[in-house]
Structure 1
Amino acid sequence: MGQYVAFPKARSHIHHFMRQARKVAPIQMIATVDLTRVRQAQRRHRAQGVHVSVSSFAVKAAALALAKYPEANITVRRSLRPRVYQHDAVNCLMLFDKQVDGGAAVVSARIPGPDRMDLLAIQEIVDHYRATPYEDNDGLRDLRTLHRLPFWLGRIVYRSVTRHPRRRAEVEGSFTFTRINQPRVIAALPQINNTLGLVGSATVDTPVVRDGRVVVRPAMHLVLAFDHDAIDGTLAAKFLDETCRILDDWNQP
């Protein structure tokens, strides 16, 4: 016979996030990215003894795309008199799994201003968050504090901290990015608490047509979830297309 058990405190932030995210009804779009040039860039970095993940390339590309379309870098504050907050900076929140109190939980790396950072600086932040244990990571100090709070108080604190759009973008990003590295999983449709969220799939060799010929290229599906209350589909499609174009034609250092 089944029984109730306590909700894991290590996942309390996800619970608080989902309660807030229910206010957003995101629309999703999906595109396919040719990662041939990204693979070439990875090999160049590897020859210099540096590993750069596809996720770092994607974060950089999305940040550049959002800088090109600043009208998408906004947050809607929902109330009886809704207001739109225009952000003056691009911030990314990269999500990944980490061991927290003996179990797996999704945590996040804050990457401020990735449109102005070089690729290796982004990768350095990602490596730090991935390699540093949850208990020792200074960037997760606020998360550890939230986990120690009673659920009712954590819910109030989370709502208070993310209430103002500027602070929400600092905490939860102008956009979020995560990647599902299971080759059979071709897409995941994310929930969001801000305006833009991206999910990349694993890289899979895929037959595509180029110049009338079928060739095999490394490809990634990229899903965008966007808040239709904030932006229209045309602008969302332009942002997604520009992100893909930058990755397709990668020419950054």
Structure 2
Amino acid sequence: MINILPFPNERKHTFAFLNYARACSPVFIDTDVDMTKILNLREGSATLAQTKLSIITYFIYAAARVLSKYPEANSSLLGGLLPKLAQSDTVSAKFALDKKIGEQRVVLPGLIPHANQISLQGIQNTIDYYKLNDFDNIQEYAALKKLQKLPLFLAELIFGLILADLKRRRSRLGTFSVSSLGHKSINSFFSVGGTTLTFGLGQIQSQAVVQKEEIKIAPVMRLSMTFDHRVIDGAMAADILSDIRESLEKFCE
């Protein structure tokens, strides 16, 4: 028996977003990151402040500061006959959340404006705000709630019109995106977050690595990156990913 069901209202924002994101010309690269220092810092923060910062908090802190040095990548593109680029003078991070709206499990966005200027604890506080509150109690989802009540074709049309405004787009999508599936046995994954750069954080697992010509066991995380080839090229993308890797391995607040 097959049940034919209407498309869930709770997933209309995902439907509209994915149709919008099709315009991206994605290229995929990845690298491995030695997370020894980050894990040690997490344990230290838990001891001193009685709170453990999340891996994604450290990543957003490091990536935002790296991206502030690459204005070309910290840009939004409006395609069409007369393409335009909007370069932002600040870095805003969008991160993905696994939440429920009623009984429907969905991915929802959280936004950290000016992420390159905020402390680790400030980033963690924003993440906790989105994670710990119910969908109905998060005021930033007011527009999304209205979108979910519209017919699907109209929701998609309005979503596209909103994002056609490059200045408004930054306040909806940020200037880079990040998702983490590291809580499961996922090594790497690639997605398109509607921004020029989208990062994926995989699980941290013990691996043999060579350090100073010696083989050691270290906690290693696969870090993936999708970049929009319409905006930047592979050489810059490789520089950015390498710089973020180095920033994590030599993390300094």
TM tier, smaller: over 0.9
Contact 2:72 2:231 in 1 (8 A): no
> Would you identify which runs of 4 or more consecutive aligned residues in structure 1 move more than 4 Å?
none
What SS does structure 2 have at the residue aligned with 1:59?
A: helix
Aligned ranges for residues 21-40 of structure 1 at < 5 Å?
21-40=21-40
> How much has 1:182 moved relative to structure 2?
4.6
Distance 1:138 1:225 in 2: 30
The two structures have a TM-score, normalised by structure 1, of 0.96
Of stretches 134-143 and 39-48 in structure 1, the one that deviates more from structure 2 is 134-143
Residue 145 of structure 1 aligns with an amino acid whose one-letter code is: K
Residue 93 of structure 2 aligns with an amino acid whose one-letter code is: C
What SS does structure 2 have at the residue aligned with 1:72?
A: coil
The two structures have a TM-score, normalised by structure 2, of 0.96
Q: Is 2:9 the partner of 1:9?
A: yes
Aligned ranges for residues 1-253 of structure 1 at < 5 Å?
1-47=1-47, 48-252=49-253
Distance 2:163 2:55 in 1: 29
| Superposed CA RMSD | 1.2
What number of residue pairs does the alignment pair up? 252
Q: In the TM superposition, what whole-angstrom CA distance separates every residue of 1:93-114 from its partner, at most 9, and x where no partner exists? A: 0101001121210001110011
What SS does structure 1 have at the residue aligned with 2:94?
A: strand
Of stretches 15-24 and 74-83 in structure 1, the one that deviates more from structure 2 is 74-83
Identity of aligned residues (%): 25
Contact 1:169 1:194 in 2 (8 A): no
What SS does structure 2 have at the residue aligned with 1:161?
A: helix
Provide structure 1 residue ranges, at least 5 long, that are not aligned to the other structure. none
Contact 2:90 2:116 in 1 (8 A): no
Contact 2:197 2:226 in 1 (8 A): yes
Provide closer, same or farther for how the CA distance between residues 51 and 182 of structure 1 changes in structure 2, counting only shifts above 3 A. closer
> How much has 1:3 moved relative to structure 2?
4.1
Of stretches 125-134 and 153-162 in structure 1, the one that deviates more from structure 2 is 153-162
Distance 1:203 1:2 in 2: 40
> How much has 1:2 moved relative to structure 2?
2.4
What SS does structure 1 have at the residue aligned with 2:53?
A: coil
Distance 2:221 2:143 in 1: 33
